[in-house]
Chains A and B, each alone.
Chain A
């Protein structure tokens, strides 16, 4: 979402090698697009980074960079921050969710006249991207189990963030309700703590500092062994209001549904305040965001309304269950286990599918049989199907809530886009 997209001309401040790298990257991206392999931003960035490994640093020079990382909600929050920051100046962002160094480089190479670079970063690459882009602000939203067969274990990730961010000059905007995020941020110089909530707590029972068993009375948390505890928040989500550091409540009126997005809006208000954007202005601008990369989008399939919801890990499923229409609204579940999803489906057992009792449920995707066993044990009535069209034909009345994990979601978007 470049403010002034000008794909032909790399920024004037880049030297010859960097310009060559950017141009070669764009050529590769164009070839990739022409071959029908997606937007090409990742391959373009990869080619460019290979020609000039220093390119990420160069392309981010002159931008006020904001990094956003988390296991949940980073794409949506990046979008909300980008929207809110436009109140202060033109923004460039990797809005399509290409969140590893190649995709980020590619997005920033198109920065044009932008003043701000709002960048979603894969949690495993945060330290590297923070080192190269000299960010002004870094938002750390949450950390919970995600794709354990290929990424770092959750607590290790918090430890790596802590080591990598210890010396940063950036203002850290961190979720005080998440003990792992708090641990990661608490060695930083400048931290704005946000009480943004934490729905999924199963990765936060063991103290990240000493290993003690965490106590969690009400909204507080603390370790009785070492005293590590929830910091006093500057900003807070209370009901459907953002409460600013002066204690003023500002109503959140989003088109995006669910508690998680109220949380994302609260973090966004805190982030953009660093750049002088007033929470009221920020929240007004956030109201315009409808769907983010297809998430939360309602589509018509054979005349039936289907809402597309993405849930990639136990925390995401939990948040999603809390926003779907009540039973007996029909629900479609689709799960894949490709490399981008994580090939281990054991996480299905960390999700409370028991909450779907009473909904007519349809399961599909590559790993529909894993889902079938999970739902059988949960005591949920379900039918195994092969396509969303089949669900539409079989489902009783009401909007169909279709929840899918990463590649299953992409597949679902393609399936509903095809005229049938």
Chain B
């Protein structure tokens, strides 16, 4: 972050905002403002260019055809790739996560190229769709507590050598490869299957993105009372159900 405002970019709300993804934008914005930061939020529609000057880019989930359209439009737009080269932070959920990888299966059942910003590729699962509460233990290097979320996907995401799993699943499906991994990350680029939305269930993920953007190791404290109550309830509910 080079000047006074944190630039928060929401990519393609017209295509990739199906499961309350707006919540991630609202939580990051709220928690940044609570720390006294100015926030400049830009919602980029899929007929608009992706700005290269953002600090944090958020990408949500979507239906199969919008996912293909979003992938096509982002592949033709150098904005996000340039931003990542400049060290910007990207956090993508579900369909958006798949788009960040090398390829995914589109609505026509065809393999479609993604952006290659994460060394992952996605296929369509043969088994039952993963729907329900999920609990996962995050990569210790991220300094995050247990992750909770709601997943709803048929996709299976395979991780290459160039990424680490975001977390290890204790309840739920996650990446769906049978190895118990959930999500993927490398440097400042993150992908996950967690809805809920993930930031509402895990506000410290929002804080992590803000810390990376500010290049600081800690933020002033925020009141987490209701988040913590929700987290405890959902983690307990998932564990009881499993």
Contacts and interface: CB of A to CB of B under 8 A. Distances in A.
Given A155-B63, A349-B200, A206 B15 contact: yes
Interface string A198-210: 0000100110000
Nearest to A208: B65
Given A213-B47, A344-B195, A350 B22 contact: yes
Interface of B: 13-15, 17-23, 26-27, 30, 45-47, 63, 65-66, 69, 131-132, 150, 152, 195-197, 200, 226-227, 229-230, 233
Nearest to B200: A373
B233 A369 contact: yes
A354 B15 CA distance: 23
The 10 closest A-B pairs by CB, nearest first: A349-B23, A346-B20, A349-B20, A205-B14, A369-B230, A213-B47, A372-B226, A153-B63, A346-B19, A211-B69
B197 A376 contact: no
Find the residue from B26, B69, B226 having the highest chain A CB count within 10 A.
B226
A297 interface: no
Contacts of B18: 145, 148, 153
Contacts of B229: 369, 372
Nearest to A351: B20
The dominant DSSP class at the B interface is mixed
Nearest to B31: A377
A156 interface: yes
A343 interface: yes
Interface residues of A, number: 29
A376 B31 CA distance: 11
A174 to B, nearest CB: 22
A275 interface: no
Given A148-B18, A213-B45, A369-B229, 20 more contacts: A148-B152, A154-B63, A155-B65, A202-B13, A205-B15, A211-B66, A213-B46, A213-B47, A343-B150, A344-B195, A347-B19, A349-B20, A349-B197, A349-B200, A350-B20, A372-B229, A374-B200, A376-B227, A377-B27, A377-B30
A221 to B, nearest CB: 13
B66 A373 contact: no
Contacts of A370: 200, 230
Interface in A298-349: 343-349
Interface in A367-387: 369-370, 372-374, 376-378
Contact of A156 (B14, B63, B197): B63
A149 interface: yes
A290 to B, nearest CB: 34
A346 B66 contact: no
A374 B131 CA distance: 22
Interface of A: 145, 148-150, 153-156, 202, 205-206, 211, 213, 343-350, 369-370, 372-374, 376-378
Nearest to B107: A156
Nearest to A215: B47
Nearest to A370: B230
Contacts of B226: 369, 372-373, 376
A206 B26 contact: no
B195 A346 contact: yes
5 contacts: A145-B18, A211-B65, A343-B131, A346-B196, A369-B229
Contacts of B20: 345-350
A154 to B, nearest CB: 8
A145 to B, nearest CB: 7
Contacts of B230: 369-370, 372-373
Contacts of B47: 213
A354 to B, nearest CB: 9
A346 B152 CA distance: 11
Contacts of B227: 373, 376
